[in-house]
Amino acid sequence: MGYIDSHAHLTSKEFDGDRDEVIRRAQDAGVTAIVNPGTDLEDSRLAVELADRYTHVYACVGFHPHEAAKAGDGELEAIEELSRHPKVVGIGEIGLDFHYDFSPRDVQERMFREQLALARRRNLPVVIHSREAMDLTMSIVEEAVRDDGEWRNGAQPARYPAPRGVFHCFAGDVGTAWRLLDLGFSLSLPGIVTFKNSASAAAVAASIPIEHLLLETDSPYLAPVPLRGTRNEPANIPLIAAAIGRLQHLSPDDVGRGTNYAALKLFGIGELGAPRFTYTLRDAVYVNLTIRCNADCVFCDRKGEAVIKGINLRIEKEPEPEEVIAEIGDPRRYKEVVFCGYGEPTIRLDALKQIARWVKDHGGRTRLNTNGHGNVINKRNILPELAGLLDGVSVSLNATDPGQYGRLMRLDGPLFFNAMLDFTREAVRHIGHVLLTVVDLEDVDQEKARQIAADLGAEFHSRPYF
């Protein structure tokens, strides 16, 4: 699988004695790419040179807030010129540091704004450093996102793309992290997540979808436990990935895949894997029978990229039951086989039944994740047919009010809301173990959802948005 170290200062003088060895050690440790941000013009040039020498090293160019006051005449133009190099994947690191105040604050702010604009002109992401200046950093970023970036292409008005980027070494709280995600930004967490006294970083690491998180060492600084206090290097990334994995209950491979996808979207580094009929996550195997669905939920990316935690589910052809069975292998290796995918599995009822029967015959456990519309889709009560084939069913409740349900799923609310309730009731009767899941969003009435589940004899599960 491998990991991407999205932030390492390999050009730093701490590596002058053994830079090549450090890069080799990183490769041996499974680091497939390293992004080296620049801190001033000279360092940015070194970063580009290093990226030129190593295929898996990439550069960002820019002025760090510490160095903002050092930028002489024409140096930002030189940064912009440098950013045209094919191994340059971003503008950074830029931002505000009011902890050390090595450059006057007004100069830091001006340089930050100018480099944000530069990144936008060049259609490159930014790598943001923000220390004890989160409020101002956020308001500058929010302002940049709101600005529609109009420019003129001859007589025609045109638009620059919205700014995007990553907050590196993110030190804000969970609320700020989600605000950033809403702005289309990502964040990266260094070895701080392994420190015992890092409750805030741990809370962020636990609650942000893995595909919006990047891994970083911030070498040579911030070595993770148990190497804390030593010179840090990219080969230590697996320690950070393991800590995030523990917080999210994900395997190191899951963390690698999710964070690599975040790096791919941001920097264009690496590639998305081939579309999958089956995939493993935590200790279960998931079956992607179809990406078709009778609904069209406003929050669903089925018609978009259809990627979950870095796994590509955009299948071009639906799998035959035999293909799925061959991929599952021995079902006893997994806690359960889950029919899920990026579509509604009951659309392929026959295939689902055939696979489920095989899994049960071979000692495995099965679960169906569904929108609960299977009886409408198949024009009959399908639950008696599924008795004995499924060990559990999870039905998405989505909303507690039929009108809201219809608006969220873009279908006839009352009709499908009632169909979903009937399906759940029948599932309790024929399958037994039924979970009604609701997304933990502010505008969903959790108490009412809990009551609906209780009335139907189903268990209730409130899950995070991702």
Q: Which residues bind Zn ion (CB under 5 A)?
A: 93
Q: Which does 302 bind (CB under 5 to 8 A by kind): Zn ion, ligand SF4, none?
A: ligand SF4
Nearer to ligand SF4, 191 or 392 (CB): 392
Give the nearest distance from C-beta 455 to ligand SF4 in angstroms.
22
CA distance 328 to 365: 12
Nearer to ligand SF4, 95 or 392 (CB): 392
Pull the structure tokens for residue 298.
């406003």
Tell me if residue 266 falls in helix, strand or coil. helix
Nearer to ligand SF4, 45 or 373 (CB): 373
Spatial CB neighbours of 94, under 8 Å, sequence gap ≥ 6: 62, 63, 64, 65, 111, 112, 115, 116, 126, 127, 128, 129
Nearer to Zn ion, 185 or 416 (CB): 185
Give the nearest distance from C-beta 359 to ligand SF4 in angstroms.
22
Give the nearest distance from C-beta 372 to ligand SF4 in angstroms.
9
Nearer to ligand SF4, 9 or 302 (CB): 302
Q: Which residues in 340-369 contact ligand SF4 (CB under 6 A)?
A: 342-344
Q: Which does 372 bind (CB under 5 to 8 A by kind): Zn ion, ligand SF4, none?
A: none
Tell me how far CA of residue 273 lies from CA of 144, 270, 276, 292, 309, in angstroms.
33, 9, 8, 21, 12
Give the nearest distance from C-beta 37 to Zn ion in angstroms.
6
Tell me if residue 159 falls in helix, strand or coil. strand
Closest residue by Cα to residue 40 from 66, 7, 8, 77: 66
Report if residue 314 touches ligand SF4, rule: CB under 6 A. Answer: no
Give the nearest distance from C-beta 394 to ligand SF4 in angstroms.
11
Q: Which does 31 bind (CB under 5 to 8 A by kind): Zn ion, ligand SF4, none?
A: none
Q: Which residues pair with 92 in a beta bridge?
A: 127
Q: Which residues pair with 157 in a beta bridge?
A: 152
Give the nearest distance from C-beta 432 to ligand SF4 in angstroms.
23
Nearer to ligand SF4, 254 or 344 (CB): 344
Q: Which residues in 278-307 contact ligand SF4 (CB under 6 A)?
A: 293, 295-297, 300, 302
Q: Which residues in 400-429 contact ligand SF4 (CB under 6 A)?
A: 409
CA distance 74 to 77: 5
Give the nearest distance from C-beta 391 to Zn ion in angstroms.
49
Nearer to ligand SF4, 344 or 391 (CB): 344
Closest residue by Cα to residue 193 from 177, 166, 169, 229: 169
Of 130, 176, 366, 371, the residue at the interface with ligand SF4 (CB under 6 A) is 371
Burial label for 304, CB within 10 Å (0-12, 13-18, 19+), is exposed
CA distance 200 to 431: 41
102, amino acid identity = F
Q: Which does 296 bind (CB under 5 to 8 A by kind): ligand SF4, Zn ion, none?
A: ligand SF4
Q: Where does 54-188 have alpha helices with state H?
A: 75-82, 105-121, 134-146, 174-182
- Residues at the site binding ligand SF4, with contacts judged by CB under 6 A: 293, 295-297, 300, 302, 342-344, 371, 409
